[in-house]
């Protein structure tokens, strides 16, 4: 199936007046030359269903595995450091 979406109402290309919006056509509606002209036209968006599989013969590649989150190193104050920080905050330990 070929789906053609036109930006302008009744825009003509390949012998067809394409209404604004999407229209669907059978796969044999257009010749190879007409289909190439339709795809090259900036006023039209052309999607040929099943075309990607026919060209490559492959399925879509699998998504890359998600990266594991990196470990975040945090520093926790030890008891002597905590006491020193408290003392400095109070103005002691100069």
Residue 13: per-residue pLDDT: 94
pLDDT tens by residue, 40-94: 999 999 999 876 554 444 445 555 555 555 555 555 555 555 566 666 666 654 4
What is the pLDDT at residue 38? 96
Could you tell me which residues come within 8 angstroms of residue 80 by beta carbon, excluding any fewer than 6 positions away?
Answer: none
| DSSP letter for each residue of 17-85 | EEPBEEEEE-TTSS-HHHHHHHHH-TTEEEEETTHHHHHH-SPPPPPPPPPPPPPPP-----HHHHHHH
| Domain boundaries, given as residue ranges, for the chain | 2-56
pLDDT above 50: residue 7: yes
**Confidence check: pLDDT of 25 > 60:** yes
């Amino acid at each position: 199936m070929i789906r053609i979406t036109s930006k302008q109402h009744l825009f003509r290309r390949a012998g067809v007046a394409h209404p604004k919006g999407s229209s669907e056509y059978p796969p044999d509606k257009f010749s190879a030359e007409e289909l190439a002209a339709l795809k090259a036209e900036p006023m039209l968006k052309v999607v040929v269903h099943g075309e990607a599989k026919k060209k490559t013969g492959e399925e879509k590649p699998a998504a890359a595995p998600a990266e594991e989150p990196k470990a975040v190193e945090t520093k926790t104050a030890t008891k002597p450091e905590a006491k020193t920080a408290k003392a400095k905050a109070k103005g002691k330990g100069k």
